[in-house]
């Protein structure tokens, strides 16, 4: 006896029509905005997670956290916690999402941004950001800011930023409004900083160019080091400080004072040691291969 496995044509067409109808109702693009609000004390802790797409963190004068997102299919917003600690973000398939989070102005904010582009505005509490390749833009006045990123460019505007730490492997760092204490570090990216009243500052680079403009507190210290990148310092000669610049394989150009660089005693390279104004703070500049340029502000 022979058995047929063929489906009757009418039945097959009915099933196909049903399947196509279902497909027509499946999401093929971003979903409508999702919105959640969670109570949080004014100085509470907020952790925000969005590792792809864009993330805005904005301060507001309410004791709550609000998260709004335009999400990819299958993603959802999550959030929860207590009046002292809240965690919000995006859950689901890895895909770009556009998320805005509003937090109490004085909250402590910790951001896990992955490769998302991050913007922070108005927050005055401490901020910590961990990023990848996405750019980071901040316009705030935090009591402390700590940023670590792989290749993402970091830009700080506004301020003042009185306690700042930025570390990146290949990202460009543009920081203005820095005061008092800071650490800026990049392996290959350009570092450009504008600073006022340095009490303890440090800039580190391997191959990236360093551009610094600012003044030193009378008891402050500034240390700038680069292995292969050029270093340019624009310093206010009216603020007294002791300056020691050493170039082991490069050159030193000095229009800040009338002093000239001399060979390093019992070593390689050249060194410029001089007192600017009436002395006071300490500026130490070291380059192994790049050029050091010192000019007045």
pLDDT value of residue 39: 96
Q: Does the structure show a pLDDT above 80 at 9? A: no
Decide: 203 and 225 in contact? Cβ < 8 Å: yes
Question: What's the pLDDT tens digit per position in 110-146?
Answer: 999 999 999 999 999 999 999 999 999 999 999 999 9
Tokens of 276: 């600017």
Q: Does the structure show a pLDDT above 50 at 191? A: yes
Provide mean pLDDT across the span 182-209. Answer: 96
Question: What's the pLDDT tens digit per position in 199-215?
Answer: 999 999 999 999 999 99
Q: Shortest CA distance to 131 belongs to which of 169, 159, 103?
A: 169
Question: What ranges do the domains of the chain cover?
Answer: 153-297
- 3-class DSSP assignment, residue 26: coil
pLDDT value of residue 5: 37
Question: What's the pLDDT tens digit per position in 11-68?
Answer: 444 444 543 444 344 444 445 468 899 999 999 999 999 999 999 999 999 999 999 9
Measured CA to CA in angstroms, residue 278 lies from 67, 146, 215, 218, 297 at distances of: 54, 34, 14, 10, 17
* Count of beta carbons in the 10 Å neighbourhood of residue 32: 8
Report residue 264 CA to chain centroid gap: 38
pLDDT value of residue 209: 95
Question: What's the pLDDT tens digit per position in 58-92?
Answer: 999 999 999 999 999 999 999 999 999 999 999 99
Cα dihedral: 101, 104, 110, 114 (round 10): 10
Of the ranges 14-18, 238-242, 252-256, the best mean pLDDT one: 252-256
Residue 214 φ/ψ region, left for φ over 0, alpha for ψ in the -120 to 50 degree band, beta for the rest: left
Q: Chain-wide mean pLDDT for the chain?
A: 89
The share of the chain scoring above pLDDT 90, in percent, equals 81
pLDDT value of residue 180: 96
Q: Shortest CA distance to 142 belongs to which of 158, 127, 120?
A: 127
Please state whether the predicted TM-score (pTM) of the whole model is above 0.75: yes
């Amino acid at each position: 006896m022979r058995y047929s496995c063929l489906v009757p044509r009418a039945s097959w067409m009915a099933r196909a029509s049903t399947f196509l109808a279902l497909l027509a109702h499946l999401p093929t693009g971003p979903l409508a905005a999702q919105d959640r609000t969670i109570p949080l004390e004014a100085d509470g802790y907020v952790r925000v997670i969005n590792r792809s797409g864009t993330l805005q963190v904005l301060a507001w004068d309410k004791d709550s956290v609000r998260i709004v997102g335009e999400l990819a299919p299958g993603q959802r917003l999550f959030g929860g916690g207590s009046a002292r600690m809240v965690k919000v973000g995006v859950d689901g398939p890895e895909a770009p999402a556009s998320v805005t989070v509003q937090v109490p102005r004085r909250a402590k904010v910790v951001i896990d941004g992955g490769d998302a582009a991050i913007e922070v505005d108005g927050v005055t509490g401490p901020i910590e950001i961990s990023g990848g390749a996405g750019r980071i833009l901040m316009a705030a006045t935090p009591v402390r800011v700590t940023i670590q990123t792989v290749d993402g460019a970091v830009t700080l505007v506004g301020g003042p930023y009185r306690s700042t730490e930025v570390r990146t492997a290949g990202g460009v760092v543009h920081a203005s409004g820095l005061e008092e204490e800071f650490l800026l570090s990049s392996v290959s990216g350009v570092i450009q900083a504008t600073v006022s009243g340095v009490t303890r500052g440090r800039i580190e680079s391997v191959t990236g160019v360093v551009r610094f403009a600012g003044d030193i507190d009378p008891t402050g210290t500034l240390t700038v080091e680069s292995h292969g990148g050029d270093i340019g310092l624009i310093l206010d000669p009216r603020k007294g400080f002791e300056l020691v610049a050493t170039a082991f394989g490069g050159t030193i150009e000095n229009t800040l004072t009338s002093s000239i660089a001399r060979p390093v005693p019992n070593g390689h390279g050249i060194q410029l040691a001089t007192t600017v104004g009436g002395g006071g703070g300490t500026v130490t500049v070291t380059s192994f291969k790049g050029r050091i340029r010192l000019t007045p502000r």
